[in-house]
Amino acid sequence: MVQTDTSREISLTHPLLKSDLKGPCKTKYAVVSAIIASMASLLLGYNIGVMSGAQIFIKDDLDLTDTEIEILTGIMNLYSLAGSLTAGWTSDSIGRRNTLTLTAIIYFVGPLIISFSNNYFWIMVGRFVTGIGIGYSVIVPVYIAEVSPVTMRGFLTSLAELAVNIGLLLGYISNFLLADLSVHLSWRLMFALGIVPAVTLGFGTLIMPESPRWLVMKGQIGKAQEVLTYLTASLEDAKTQLEEIKETAGIPKESTSEVVPVPKQSHDKTVWKELIMKPAPSVCRILMTVLAIQFFQQASGIDTVVLYSPRVFEKSGIKSNSTLLGATMAVGLVKTISIPVAMILSDLVGRRSLLITSTAGMAASLVMLGLGLQIGDGSVMNQTWIVVVCIVAVLSYVSFFSIGIGPLTMAYSSEIMPLKLRAQGVALGMAMNRTVCGVVTMTFISLYEAITIAGSFYLYAGIAGMACAFVYICLPETKGKSLEEIEVLFGKKEKEIEGNGKSLEVAV
């Protein structure tokens, strides 16, 4: 229990509360905090993307089989389950900021182990440690959503996905630039470079504020108001948000002390009870929405393109290693530069419209890719046009992914989860995401050997089409609403049902 200090009232003469910074200047603090937190997402992207080219050199250096490479490539996503399933509890216990510091340490150790590995076992150990870091990266969108102003939340939460794609691109670039080194040295340096952003994140967390919503959950009302004053445009906005957060956290409005008592109970048991064991209808709807959108993001095949694009382009007719890596780097570039579209439009046209456009475009692009690979498979004619079709289809696919379901999946999941359940709920979504990703990437080679590579992408196209239908039917718009208002949005259906029942009773 947090000790109560009823003798200390919230002081409006605190230096932070007297700050004469104007709104735009204050929101820069939220932007800087979001950028630093996004370094964890950049590390996620880098450690996934670097494997795309590094696997070529690891296979030659350690004389590995295709099956061993397939497992090594995809297993990290399953390892990340250990991180994602404990990240929610960790962040609720020690805070969002301290969890990000821990994430930086994990991302430092994992690539370091891989860089000094001399056999398959130690690479797997390094991938396991790195996988834990990937799981802990689930806290990034949670933290950003909780420190972002309402009018900038869509933009700032999309920074995490932008950072993932910058990380992927940097991984591809390191593959390309270090490809001419010796086989023994090249892949080790590729992984070692990932240590640099980990150190940057670790030191960057020292200047970040703690999430005001986490502070309220711990009864630290005074500190929460100080942070909100820095993050919002005015003192009045800070007070309004604080009252909304207190109400959501179950703290009476009349509690004005800097530190207030919180219920003495097992927070972890309470969360799991409200989230899974006995969820309210609105919570059940939210959880199903989070799990479904996380499933569709990965089941539509994005990581097969990210990790196996050299193999896909090879099947289309490209033979040179440097050309393969160059085309793969183009995929990373297009995927990255498409993200700002979602960042800008998510707060203008809304999340729902972008998600529908994104999933529909992905389905069409995957059909196009499947047709190109089907025609080109075993063809003896000039394959230049087939190569062009496949490259255009892949670039179209990743661009549609990046304007919608890529950046908005975690952003939307973080928005709709209630405050008390947010960290654990988003962690469950991340667990679904990484599980599906691991299954898809670890079975891709076996899948295309069974149903052809074209058939694999037709399957992913069908899943993308299902995702489009799901978004259209099930997802409400969250644009322009506070996190507390979104909780009410998902509770409306429940209230409407109750209201209809009461009306029927009156009529009878």
Residue 258 half-sphere exposure toward CB, CA atoms < 13 A: 12
Nearest to 67 by CA among 434, 452, 443, 454: 443
* Rounded Cα distance, 34 and 255, in Å: 30
Do residues 404 and 357 make contact, with C-beta atoms less than 8 angstroms apart? yes
Low-confidence ranges of the chain (pLDDT < 50): 1-25, 266, 493-508
> What does 204-244 look like in DSSP terms, one character per residue?
HGGGPPPPHHHHHHTT-HHHHHHHHHHHSSSHHHHHHHHHH
Nearest to 403 by CA among 369, 355, 365: 355
Q: What is the pLDDT of residue 492?
A: 56
Single-letter code of the amino acid located at 295: F
DSSP state of 19: -
* Rounded Cα distance, 39 and 409, in Å: 18
Record the pTM. Answer: 0.71
Do residues 120 and 68 make contact, with C-beta atoms less than 8 angstroms apart? yes
With a CB cutoff of 8 Å and minimum separation 6, the contacts of 497 are none
Percent helix, strand, coil in the chain (nearest 5)?
A: 80, 0, 20
* Rounded Cα distance, 290 and 195, in Å: 32
β-strand partners of 257: 9
H or E element, residue 75? helix 66-94
Do residues 214 and 152 make contact, with C-beta atoms less than 8 angstroms apart? no
Q: How many CB atoms lie within 10 A of CB 28?
A: 12
Tell me phi and psi for residue 320, to 5 degrees: -70, 135
Q: Give the Cα-Cα-Cα angle 154, 159, 164 (nearest 5 degrees).
A: 135
Q: What is the pLDDT of residue 506?
A: 31
* Rounded Cα distance, 414 and 428, in Å: 11
